[in-house]
DNA sequence: TCAGTGGTTGGCAGCGCTGCCAATCACGAT
DNA sequence: ATCGTGATTGGCAGCGCTGCCAACCACTGA
């Protein structure tokens, strides 16, 4: 079923059908009705592959994200999706699993679809990835981080500032033996930058981290729970722990509950992200809310508006909660 | 930058470049090296829009799912993604927000890309959606539910059987005043079917639900927590609650913790899905694990193998846990 | 009557690639 | 030297649509 067949059935030319279907150019009401009637009668579905090729203007947006099961990325996807769909754009995505080399090959695969924009997480990419992206006539959005040079558009927060803010809050509340528990800071560079900010703030206050533990693999509630048990076994005197994110922190809270550790009396807990689960805990988690949905929406907006290259820091909000 | 330019630069014909890049047909090693060299020197990225149009065989798979922030769907996405990418397929997705009419228009938009397969959640769709899908030469996969007639391929579990299994387990453990707490069973038809199975099993045992509460909107930990408080206020004598899923059940567990309700001594809790968070609770949640990752992988496999139309029930596993 | 005007309409050349087919080549066999 | 064979290669017609341009159609005003 092609445009030409619809045109023949409606007794009009191909370009007329094309104009009617795209509501573009001029045509009479009578013509429009005949075309619509033929389209519905034949069950015609336009071929956007052909349309995109002919117009050489793609309405595809490629998203290359580290994980789909991490709510942080899906919140962003969610924010991007709406505005994009409204304007007739289609999202294509691929998952890197936090591997820069996989990201590189996925970006190459994505560019083959000639997307209007490519959306990535973070500012760290392989040299080849940056080169490919730079050579294409498409917008590039780097999300979730503003600590470093961007390729084109960057929208996020300063993770170093977030780490500093967490440390500052704990210091301000009087905690003095502060530990860190996190997941892999090399694969998740944003978590790594928070750790850097956290360390720097504590060092400047003359109270460097009393203990640090970094676990391999992705963050999870289970890892946070087991990790805190091990961290405390090695450093029983801690009075506060800064976690790499809320998942880990919720796991930590579970450990305290199980081990009978009073929170925040004997141990304060601080997370990052401001997830719903943290707020739903019987003791709301002290954390830092990141505007993930807004990042997605802003990304979509800047791309659709064809805004000039820029770095947009959306900031974060400290949520005191009840655990610190 | 086009194929023709690369061909000119390498001093060979267009079809030769095409063959080399697709590793298809025959060409000499010397020719291959020259082509590869030219491709790399020029930074050529093939245009898959044109390739797909020319070959009339798309390697796009469309996924139309209710939500990206619900881990149930992203687990499935995750399972699908790997095998698909390996075979050079690309995933395109859109989010319905549990709205069948939105699903309809998104399916129409997706079909315009002439996907090799369309993947949907559940078996309930509008008449127009079914008609469109039936009229296209693409595979259709309906995921997460096997209770009803499928369009083409269906992969999932019987949600009615799951509801029955949950009820059966609670009855078997001696609970007699069993309540239900769930999210919207009409928008989430799978939750609705579990509720049906749950009710049926209890009714057959002569112990119909002692209380039922259905909350509007999506499931969440916070809703489970508040909902259980309200459910118990209206029916204080319950000795067990079956939740529409683990998120709700974890929220319920939080309420019990806060209200000092002994679990499972005074109140047993049972969820659905087998999420990590339930297993990481200090008391592992009694639940029913659904093979979401496997559903995704099987969906990809059947589509890639071009398997005949079928309904594949992957079954579930009852996790006794410690809350029931 | 005739040119001028603005709204409609159809024809057709691409968009960049693939698939088919015919041409060419290398090389051992005759 | 000639032929047959299979591997290698290039040319070119589409894939289904869009964008451009020219043609056409009332009408109007001079």
pLDDT computed for residue A118 by the predictor: 97
- CA dist A139 and A308 (Å) reads 10
Sorted by where each starts, the structural domains of chain B and their CATH numbers stand as 3-46 (1.10.260.40), 55-157+292-314 (3.40.50.2300), 159-289 (3.40.50.2300)
Size of interface A-B (CB pairs under 8 A): 128
Smallest Cα distance from A205 to chain B, Å: 35
Closest nucleotide over all strands to B52 (CA to C1'): C17
Residue A321 near residue A285, CB atoms below 8 Å: yes
Q: Kindly determine whether the C-beta of residue B245 is less than 7 Å away from any atom of nucleic acid strand C.
A: no
Q: Do A68 and B91 touch (CB under 8 A)?
A: no
User: Which of A282, A293, A300 would best serve as a mutation to test chain B binding (most B beta carbons within 10 A)?
Assistant: A282
At residue B232, the pLDDT reads 98
Nearest-nucleotide field for B28 (CA, C1'): D8
Q: Which residue of B lies nearest to A222 if distances are taken between CA atoms?
A: B280
Q: Is A27's CB less than 7 Å from nucleic acid strand C?
A: yes
As ranges, strand C nucleotides with an atom below 7 A of a protein CB are 7-21
Could you tell me if B58 and B52 are in contact, meaning their C-beta atoms sit under 8 angstroms apart?
yes
| Residue B97: cis peptide before it, omega within 30 degrees of 0 | no
Report the distance from CA of residue A28 to the C1' of nucleotide C1 in Å, as an integer. Answer: 30
Contacts of B94 in chain A (CB under 8 A): 81, 85, 90-91
Interchain CB distance below 8 Å, B74 and A75: no
Distance, in Å, from the CA atom of A156 to the CA atom of B244, rounded to the nearest integer, reads 35
Scanning every residue of chain A, which has its alpha carbon at the shortest distance from the alpha carbon of B40?
A132
Specify whether the CB–CB gap between B219 and B227 falls below 8 A: no
Asked if B46's CB is within 8 angstroms of A50's CB, the reply is no
Q: Which two tokens stand for residue A102?
A: 């996989």
Q: How far is A142 from chain B (nearest CA, A)?
A: 20
A46, A74, A135: residue with CB nearest B68: A74
Q: Least CB-CB distance to A69: which of B75, B108, B251?
A: B75
Of A74, A90, A222, the CB nearest to B74: A74
The number of beta carbons lying within 10 Å of the beta carbon of residue B24 is: 9
* pLDDT number for residue B265: 97
Percent of chain B with pLDDT over 70: 100
- Whether CB of A11 is under 7 Å from strand C: the answer is yes
**Torsional class of B80: left (φ above 0), alpha (ψ -120 to 50), beta (otherwise):** alpha
pLDDT computed for residue B66 by the predictor: 95
Residues of A with Cβ-Cβ distance to B136 under 8 angstroms: 45
Which nucleotide C1' is nearest A114 CA?
Answer: C16
Contact check, Cβ <8 Å, B48/A222: no
Provide the mean pLDDT of chain B.
Answer: 96
User: Strands A211-214 and A240-243: what pairing?
Assistant: unpaired
Residues in chain B predicted with pLDDT less than 50, given as ranges, are none
Q: Which residues contact B54 (CB under 8 A, 6 or more apart)?
A: none
What angle is formed at CA A290 by the lines to CA A288 and CA A292, rounded to 5 degrees?
155
B28 beta carbon to strand C: under 7 Å: no
B162 vs A165: CA distance, rounded Å: 46
Task: Please judge whether A108 and B45 are an interchain contact, meaning their C-beta atoms are less than 8 angstroms apart.
Answer: yes
Interchain proximity A71–B75, CB inside 8 Å: no
Using the beta-carbon criterion (under 8 Å), do A43 and B276 form an inter-chain contact? no
Phi/psi at A141 (5° precision):
-120, 125
D9 C1' to A271 CA distance, Å: 63
Contacts of B56 (CB under 8 A, 6+ apart): none
Tens of pLDDT, residue by residue over B85-96, are 889 899 998 999
Helices then strands, counting H and E runs in chain B, come out as 13, 12
What span, in angstroms and rounded, lies between the C-alpha atoms of A65 and A121? 6
Helix, strand or coil, per DSSP, at residue B122? coil
**What residues contact B52, with CB distance under 8 A and at least 6 apart?**
A49, B58, B59, B60, B114
Order of strands, edge to edge, in the sheet holding A211-214? A211-214, A178-182, A240-243, A268-270
Question: Distance (Å) from the C-alpha of residue A252 to the closest C-alpha of chain B?
Answer: 11
- What are the pLDDT digits (tens) for B287-308? 999 999 999 999 999 999 999 9
A49 and B52 within 8 Å at the Cβ level: the answer is yes
Contact, A31 CB vs strand C, < 7 Å: yes
**Residue A44 contacts residue A21 (beta carbons within 8 Å):** no
Nucleotide closest to A5 measured between CA and C1': D16
Q: Give the pLDDT of residue A57.
A: 87
CA–CA gap between residue A66 and residue A29 (Å, rounded): 49
Contact status, residue A303 vs residue A265, Cβ threshold 8 Å: no
Question: Three-state SS string across chain A, please?
Answer: CCHHHHHHHHCCCHHHHHHHHHCCCCCCHHHHHHHHHHHHHHCCCCCHHHHHHHHCCCCEEEEEECCCCCHHHHHHHHHHHHHHHHCCCEEEEEECCCCHHHHHHHHHHHHCCCCCEEEEECCCCCHHHHHHHHHCCCEEEEECCCCCCCCCEEEECCHHHHHHHHHHHHHHCCCCCEEEEECCCCCCHHHHHHHHHHHHHHHHCCCCCCEEEECCCCCCHHHHHHHHHHHHHHCCCCCEEEECCHHHHHHHHHHHHHHCCCCCCCCEEECCECCHHHHHCCCCCEEEECCHHHHHHHHHHHHHHCCCCEEEECCCEEECCCCC
CA B137 to CA B140: how far, in whole Å? 9
Q: Are B171 and B186 in contact (CB under 8 A)?
A: no
pLDDT per residue as tens, chain A (324 positions)? 999 999 999 999 999 999 999 999 999 999 999 999 999 999 999 999 999 999 988 999 999 999 999 999 999 999 998 899 889 899 998 999 999 999 999 999 999 999 999 999 999 999 999 999 998 889 999 999 999 999 999 999 999 999 999 999 999 999 999 999 999 999 999 999 999 999 999 999 999 999 999 999 999 999 999 999 999 999 999 999 999 999 999 999 999 999 999 999 999 999 999 999 999 999 999 999 999 999 999 999 999 999 999 999 999 999 999 999
Q: Which pLDDT score is estimated for B57?
A: 87
For nucleic chain D, give residues with Cβ below 7 angstroms from it: A 2-4, 14-15, 18, 21-22, 24, 46-47, 50-51, 53-55, 57; B 11-16, 19, 25-28, 30-31, 50, 53-54, 56
Whole-angstrom CA distances from A271 to A219, A252, A279, A314, B308 are 12, 10, 11, 19, 49
Residue B219 near residue B248 (C-beta atoms within 8 A): yes
CB-based contact A53 B48, cutoff 8 Å? no
| Residue with the two structure tokens 């579930």 | B316
Q: How far is the CA of B112 from the C1' of C17 (A)?
A: 19
Q: Are strands B153-156 and B178-183 parallel, antiparallel or unpaired?
A: unpaired
Residue A54's nearest nucleotide, by CA–C1', is: C15
| Nearest chain B CA: its distance from A204 CA (Å) | 36
Best of A45, A103, A118, A247 to disrupt the B interface (most B CBs within 10 Å) is A45
Task: Name the residue facing A276 among B71, B90, B221 (closest C-beta).
Answer: B221
Token reading at B100: 């069948």
Q: Which residues pair with A228 in a beta bridge?
A: none
């Amino acid at each position: 079923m092609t445009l030409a067949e619809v045109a023949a059935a409606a007794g009009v030319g191909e370009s007329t059908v094309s104009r009617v279907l795209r509501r573009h150019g001029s045509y009479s009401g009578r013509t429009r009705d005949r075309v619509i009637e033929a389209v519905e009668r034949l069950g015609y579905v336009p071929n956007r592959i052909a349309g995109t090729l002919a117009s050489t203007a793609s309405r595809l947006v490629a998203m290359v994200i580290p994980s789909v099961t991490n709510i942080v990325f899906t919140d962003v996807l969610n924010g991007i999706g709406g505005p994009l769909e409204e304007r007739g754009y289609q999202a294509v995505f691929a998952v890197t699993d936090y591997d820069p080399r996989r990201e590189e090959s996925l970006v190459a695969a994505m560019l083959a679809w000639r997307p209007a924009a490519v959306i990535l997480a973070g500012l760290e990419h392989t040299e080849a990835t940056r080169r490919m992206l730079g050579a294409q006539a498409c917008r590039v959005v780097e999300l979730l981080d503003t600590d470093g040079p961007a390729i084109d558009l960057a929208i996020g927060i300063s993770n170093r500032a977030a780490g500093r803010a967490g440390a500052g809050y704990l210091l301000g509340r009087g905690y003095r033996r502060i530990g860190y528990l996190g997941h892999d800071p090399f694969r998740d560079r944003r978590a790594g930058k928070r750790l850097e900010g956290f360390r720097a703030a504590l060092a400047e206050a003359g109270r460097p981290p009393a203990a640090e533990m970094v676990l391999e693999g992705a963050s999870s509630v289970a890892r946070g729970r087991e990790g805190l048990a091990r961290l405390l076994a090695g450093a029983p005197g801690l009075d506060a722990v800064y976690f790499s994110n809320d998942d880990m922190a919720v796991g930590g809270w579970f450990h305290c509950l199980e081990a009978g550790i009073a929170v925040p009396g004997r141990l304060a807990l601080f997370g990052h992200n401001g997830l719903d689960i943290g707020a739903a805990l019987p003791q709301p988690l002290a954390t830092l809310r990141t505007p993930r949905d807004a990042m997605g929406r802003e990304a979509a907006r800047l791309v659709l508006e064809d805004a000039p290259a820029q770095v947009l820091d959306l900031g974060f909000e400290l949520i005191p909660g009840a655990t610190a």
